[in-house]
Copies of this chain bind each other. A is one copy, B any other.
Amino acid sequence: MASNRKVSVDEIRQHASPESCWIVVDGKVWDMTEFAPDHPGGAETILEHAGRDATEPYSAVHPPSLLPKNLPPNKFIGVLDTTTVDTEWTKPPPKATPELTLNQEKPPLQTIINANDFETVASKTFGAKTWAFYSSAATDCITRDANRSTFDRIWFRPRVLVNVDRADTRSRIMGNDVSMPLFVSPAALAGMAHPEGEKALARACKRNGMIQAVSTNASFPIDEIADAAPGHPFIFQLYVDRKRENSAKLLKMVEGLGVVKAVMFTVDAPVIGKREADERVRADLSVSSPMSKSKASEDKKGGGVGRTMGSYIDPTSTWETIAWLKKTTKLPIIVKGVQCAEDAKLCVKYGCQGIFVSNHGGRELDTAPAAIMVLLELQKNCPEVFEKLEVFVDGGIRRGTDILKCLCLGATAVGIGRSFLYSLNYGEDGVEHLIDILKDELETAMKLVGITDLSQVHPGLVNTLDVDHLIPTTVGHPYARWRPRARI
């Protein structure tokens, strides 16, 4: 390291690539080419200064003595010939803008680092109709927002000094191996977000070992979606049609595909909730449509995609409909939309294979309980259902920590709807990016709470005391003297 060789800035500039990377620190020139890939801080933080003076960023994180101590002497090239310094040399490298610029176009996918980013981008770049339909929820959106915020009132009880070198997120859903206990919740009209819609979701799911639940209201028929991910398992979400024969025919087709492993029978939307953001867009369109055969009653009601798409759904379904379903298909039945312990018990009684705790993303009845609260209600009032069938939940899940909390409280797996639609903004790549993010978040949460595989989840890992007092019991009632009265 006694080299006195003077090195000019022009020579240094020749070594500005991964193949030959020189940097200058404190007037000394070093060859970082071999060391860069091993840099604990990542190769990039060195390479962005290749062929340049890196004194300032280096000093911010390292003591001066580090370079000479850690590099072999032959990596020392010489000292900077300060007589060769020109104006260009003293300029800093081009700065990146540190925040997303969302006003006009989608930011690069790699700047998106969580599910909320996808939502923010969607809110700025989706068409007004698509955004309204996806993001809207019933009336004042209290349930939609509680779905999310209730997770932040449930705290972890992290354990330390556990070997967490690896965290294994693998699990099973209705007998199918999955890479993590997260599935794509059934949602209508993915085609509004991307031309490939549910097909893009299917491809991304297959590549990542995830299961997709396909909606009856998908933008593509399920056979086309299944073709996009040949041989991969699916779940089919069913709205029973007012004309039962239509549903029977559909189920027959679905079962015939061979890849559908269960039917999610949606029962939380016998009538479509009042999603005002969605209705408002329709209301305005109708105003601009001079030819519409407007019926006053319909005009007054507004008219969202959700409501108009749902007019075929049979509101007369009862628990007996499950018997009909079981006659019609051999696929296991998951009842989607359970919102109280009483109905969870009925799922067992009527021989279903799964319970899907869901309030339809808050899109049906406003002030219905947050999904995670219903999961707690089941734990409190009918814990036996968790032993008898699989329990799923969706609503407000945006983080790996949210997923882990649901699992700790007994969920077999959790669903995410809107975030996947928002990720479709970037097509298949977006969906895979979201899956990567959530898997990484789940693994990190597992390690930091002190577990390494999902057989170790347990309610003792979370503290639900902030909400426990809000969970109803199903025996007795504070206003027990109530007696029903004839009204008319």
Contact = CB atoms under 8 A, between A and B. Distances in A.
Nearest to A65: B221
Nearest to A166: B315
Given A41-B309, A297-B436, A463-B472, A401 B366 contact: yes
Given A287-B111, A293-B43, A300-B110, A458 B484 contact: yes
Given A365-B445, A458-B482, A463-B470, A284 B97 contact: yes
A468 B478 contact: yes
A160 interface: yes
A236 interface: no
Contacts of A61: 189, 191-192, 219, 305, 309
Contacts of A453: 487-488
Contacts of A281: 98
A245 interface: no
A3 interface: no
A170 B379 CA distance: 38
Contacts of A464: 478
A35 interface: no
Given A219-B62, A287-B111, A367 B156 contact: yes
A376 B448 CA distance: 21
A193 B287 CA distance: 26
Contacts of A337: 160
Interface in A442-488: 444-445, 447-449, 453-460, 463-466, 468-472, 477-479, 481-488
A99 B280 contact: yes
A479 B405 CA distance: 14
Contacts of A359: 158
A359 B448 CA distance: 10
Contact of A440 (B95, B301, B483): B301
A337 B162 CA distance: 13
Place the interface of chain A in its size category.
35 or more
Interface in A85-113: 93-99, 108, 110-111, 113
A128 interface: yes
Contacts of A365: 156, 158, 401, 444-445, 448-449
A252 interface: no
Nearest to A177: B488
Question: Which of A44, A297, A482 has the largest count of B CB atoms less than 10 A from its CB?
Answer: A44
B292 A47 contact: yes
Contacts of A471: 465
B158 A342 contact: no
A113 B401 contact: no
Nearest to A370: B155
A367 B444 contact: no
B159 A343 contact: yes
A34 B50 CA distance: 67
Contacts of A418: none
Contacts of A142: 152
B43 A111 contact: no
Contacts of A305: 41, 61
A161 interface: yes
A379 B478 CA distance: 9
A268 interface: yes
Contacts of A228: none
A171 interface: yes
Contacts of A369: 155-157, 463
A405 to B, nearest CB: 8
A247 to B, nearest CB: 15
Contacts of A441: 139, 274
A472 B434 CA distance: 34
B449 A59 contact: no
Interface stretch (A70-78, A206-214, A253-261, A317-325): A317-325
A220 B63 CA distance: 5
A488 B436 CA distance: 21
Contacts of A113: 276, 279-280, 283, 301-302
Complex A-B, nearest 10 residue pairs according to Cβ-Cβ distance, in ascending order: A96-B284, A48-B289, A365-B448, A96-B288, A44-B292, A383-B481, A160-B267, A379-B479, A459-B479, A163-B316
29 contacts: A18-B293, A41-B305, A44-B303, A47-B289, A61-B309, A98-B128, A98-B284, A111-B284, A158-B359, A161-B318, A161-B322, A161-B346, A172-B488, A181-B487, A270-B448, A271-B447, A271-B448, A273-B444, A300-B433, A300-B436, A301-B440, A379-B482, A383-B479, A383-B482, A387-B483, A410-B479, A410-B482, A465-B469, A465-B471
